[in-house]
């Protein structure tokens, strides 16, 4: 097995299309095998597209999201696997309500780790992408996705752990995805102003939490993938219950995005091969 392989681990269907999708499409185009592992079915996701807010959709949200994920995977050209856990939902209120019984965030870490280890040992990825310790945002499933990914990265190569989950496999590199960056939003907002338009990021920038800027300082790797931004957007729109085609995701003209910010950003969090930073390739230093 000499071809390069990339595994992207995500909490819910649609996460793969909003975080690193253009990177995956680029690598697929280069002949890399790419697999998305979705930990939950998104059963408790809200309907965020008003056009899909229909009674018949509410009753079939899980089934519909399965179909949406299949379409997005087809657009990106990636392989896909459901790990089979139940969406925890995003708790709201003060105080926060308890998480529902049986949801992913409450499954014992060893159980969810074993399932991901089994997938890793079967696919044998050289690179794994996931979320940082904050989950990208504090959804319980995103935070648990980080915990499970890190545990599986360490366990997959250890023959003593989960011996019934396949032959050991060491992943060479693990990355965190970093997408929502203030500098990127400000760049686009300024471009709208130059063209006499009111940009969509004004409120985001006004309410920006300075703590988030710490993330930007952790970026090690920028992958040029502007050619695949349109494919990323098509994959996003495939998740019709979750993505309003009139939302801010699609407001910035494609030409501006490709010219002003043609990359997707990552943080090299673990590596078993020598790395020279900064990088422009997730597979830098890997000899399959």
Per the CB < 8 A criterion, the answer to whether 38 and 83 are in contact is yes
Instruction: Confirm whether 278 is domain-assigned.
Output: no
Quick: pLDDT tens for 215-272.
889 999 999 999 999 999 999 999 999 999 988 889 999 999 999 999 999 999 999 9
Binding residues for Zn(2+): 12, 15, 142
pLDDT attached to residue 1: 44
Quick: pLDDT tens for 175-223.
999 988 999 999 999 999 999 999 999 998 999 888 778 888 999 999 9
Instruction: Confirm whether 196 is domain-assigned.
Output: yes
Instruction: Confirm whether 281 is domain-assigned.
Output: no
CATH number for the domain that contains residue 133: 3.40.50.10320
Q: Band of the pLDDT at 95, cuts 50, 70, 90?
A: confident
Strands 5-10 and 127-130: parallel
Mean pLDDT of 38-45: 94
Handedness of CA 81, 83, 86, 88 (dihedral sign): negative
Instruction: Confirm whether 279 is domain-assigned.
Output: no
Question: How many domains in the chain?
Answer: 1
Instruction: Confirm whether 178 is domain-assigned.
Output: yes
Instruction: Confirm whether 207 is domain-assigned.
Output: yes
Q: Band of the pLDDT at 100, cuts 50, 70, 90?
A: very high
Instruction: Confirm whether 276 is domain-assigned.
Output: no
Write out the residue range of the structural domain in which residue 26 sits.
5-271
Total-model pTM: 0.96
Binding residues: 12, 15, 142
Instruction: Confirm whether 283 is domain-assigned.
Output: no
| Count of Cβ atoms closer than 10 Å to residue 108 Cβ | 8
Question: Residues near 49 by Cβ (< 8 Å), separated by ≥ 6?
Answer: 240, 241, 242, 243, 244, 245
| Count of Cβ atoms closer than 10 Å to residue 172 Cβ | 20
């Amino acid at each position: 097995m000499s071809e390069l392989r990339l595994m992207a681990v995500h909490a819910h269907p649609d996460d793969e299309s909003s975080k690193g999708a253009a990177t995956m499409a680029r690598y697929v185009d280069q002949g890399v095998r790419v697999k998305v592992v979705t930990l939950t079915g998104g059963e408790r996701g809200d309907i965020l597209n008003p056009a899909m807010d229909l009674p018949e959709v509410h009753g079939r949200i899980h089934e519909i999201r399965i179909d949406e994920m299949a379409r997005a995977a087809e657009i990106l050209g990636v392989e896909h696997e459901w790990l089979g856990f139940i969406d925890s939902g995003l708790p709201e209120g003060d105080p926060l309500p308890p998480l529902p019984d049986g949801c992913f965030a409450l499954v014992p870490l060893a159980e969810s780790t074993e399932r991901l280890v089994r997938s890793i040992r079967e696919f044998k990825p050289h690179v794994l992408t996931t979320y940082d310790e904050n989950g990208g945002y504090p959804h319980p499933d995103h935070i648990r996705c980080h915990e499970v990914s890190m545990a599986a990265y360490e366990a997959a190569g250890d023959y003593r752990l989960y011996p019934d989950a396949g032959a050991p496999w060491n992943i060479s590199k693990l990355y965190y995805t970093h997408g929502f960056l203030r500098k990127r939003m400000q760049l686009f907002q300024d471009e709208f102003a130059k063209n006499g338009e009111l940009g969509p990021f004004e409120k985001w920038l006004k309410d920006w939490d300075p703590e988030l800027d710490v993330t930007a300082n952790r970026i090690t790797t920028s992958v040029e993938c502007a050619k695949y931004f349109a494919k990323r957007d098509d994959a996003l729109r495939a998740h019709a219950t979750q993505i309003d085609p009139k939302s801010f995701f699609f407001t910035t003209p494609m030409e501006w995005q490709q010219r002003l910010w043609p990359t997707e950003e990552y943080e090299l969090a673990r590596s078993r091969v020598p790395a020279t930073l900064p990088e422009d390739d997730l597979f830098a230093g890997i000899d399959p």
